[in-house]
Structure 1
Amino acid sequence: MMNALLSPRLESVPKNDVTQQRHDEQSSAVVERGITVQASFNTICAIEYMKSHNVAPQVIERVLLNPEQRRKAHH
């Protein structure tokens, strides 16, 4: 189901943007909030939140479906 939600966006994201590393605190905060939304509500809400903040579909899929692949949080 999640692939159906993400796949329309995959075609619209330029390849060089998809593979770009997170490079700012704002992007990091959006991803962290998305993870919190998933834990507090559900995955669909988290997907919509992250999509609305222009997080790449591959990043959304990685952080929400594969928590073991997440970057370590900086505290």
Structure 2
Amino acid sequence: MITELYQQRVNEEGHHIVNQGISVQSTFNTMCAIEYLKSRNVAPQVIERVLLHPELRRKTQH
């Protein structure tokens, strides 16, 4: 079940860092985004999920 892959988001700063990494990926490339996220101490499994599997990203709530 896919819902088991997600943990509750508790860190707004982390949310903004990940969004910036996604922006870096679309503006530059995936390697730049990986290096950015690594430099901000984002967990490797989160980096993989958000950059390589966009279908698994959390949906933004409006």
Aligned to 2:22: 35
Query: Normalized against structure 1, the TM-score is what?
Result: 0.69
Partners of 2:7 and 2:61 in 1: CA distance:
19
Aligned length: 57
Query: Normalized against structure 2, the TM-score is what?
Result: 0.83
Partners of 2:37 and 2:60 in 1: CA distance:
18
Name structure 2 gaps, 5 residues minimum.
Answer: 1-5
Q: Percent identity?
A: 65
Aligned pairs for 1:1-75 (under 5 A) are 21-75=8-62
Name structure 1 gaps, 5 residues minimum.
Answer: 1-18
Partners of 2:37 and 2:47 in 1: CA distance:
7
Q: CA deviation at 1:24?
A: 1.2
Aligned to 1:6: none
Partners of 2:15 and 2:49 in 1: CA distance:
14
Q: In the superposition, relative to structure 1, how do residues 22 and 29 fare at CA in structure 2: closer, same or farther (>3 Å)?
A: same
Q: CA deviation at 1:64?
A: 0.3
Q: Which amino acid aligns with 1:27?
A: G
Measured on the aligned residues, the alpha-carbon RMSD in Å equals 1.7
